[in-house]
């Protein structure tokens, strides 16, 4: 399983919190690339509910990780 910013961006509008099956269904319905669906299918399903992409991809960058000043835009 591998994630990139581009792949993770397809889950930004997902109905959080969501179960694995709900996320897979969302990815398919929204036309996300096959890699997104495959990554979600590789998650070990223990009936967990995921609150955000950070629980699926712990290295997902937050706004604090970017070095720009939002006040300038």
Per-residue model confidence (pLDDT) at position 40: 95
8 has a pLDDT exceeding 70? yes
Catalogue the E-assigned strands of 1-73. 18-19, 49-50
Per-residue model confidence (pLDDT) at position 15: 93
Q: Which domain, by its residues, includes 51?
A: 5-59
Pull the structure tokens for residue 48.
């967990």
Does residue 46 sit within a domain? yes
pTM for the model:
0.81
Query: What domain count does the chain have?
Result: 1
Residue in 48, 45, 50, 70 with CA at minimum distance from that of residue 8 = 50
Per-residue model confidence (pLDDT) at position 51: 94
Per-residue model confidence (pLDDT) at position 58: 86
Per-residue model confidence (pLDDT) at position 70: 59
- Highest averaged pLDDT of the listed ranges 2-16, 19-33, 35-49, 51-65: 19-33
Does residue 64 sit within a domain? no
Give the chain's largest Cα–Cα span: 44
Does residue 17 sit within a domain? yes
């Amino acid at each position: 399983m591998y994630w990139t910013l581009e792949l993770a961006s397809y889950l930004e509008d997902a109905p959080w919190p969501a179960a694995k099956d709900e996320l897979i269904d969302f990815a398919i319905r929204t036309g996300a690339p096959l890699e997104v669906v495959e990554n979600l299918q590789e998650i070990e399903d223990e009936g967990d509910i995921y609150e955000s992409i950070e629980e699926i991809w712990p290295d997902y960058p937050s706004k604090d990780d970017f070095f720009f000043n939002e006040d300038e835009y």
